[in-house]
Amino acid sequence: MKDNMILKNDESINCYGGETVITAALITSIISLLKFTYSLGKEIGKFLKENYLNSN
């Protein structure tokens, strides 16, 4: 009985394992993309402030 239950658990892990890994990778990449966009926006904002506030 225990062997059968272990096999069933392994099968369910294999079924959902790939989707979980893909979802986690997707979420991680989205978060890193947002962080990159935010830091890029901060740099652009700093650049614009320095150039346009000083010129006025």
Q: Is pLDDT at 26 greater than 70 in this prediction?
A: yes
Instruction: Indicate the SS3 state at residue 5.
Output: helix
Both tokens of residue 50? 């320095």
- What's the confidence (pLDDT) of residue 43? 95
Q: Which residue has the higher pLDDT, 19 or 14?
A: 19
The answer, yes or no, to whether residue 6 has pLDDT greater than 90, is no
pTM attached to this predicted model? 0.51
Cα–Cα distance measured from residue 48 to residue 37, given in angstroms and rounded to the nearest whole number? 16
More confident residue, 13 or 44: 44
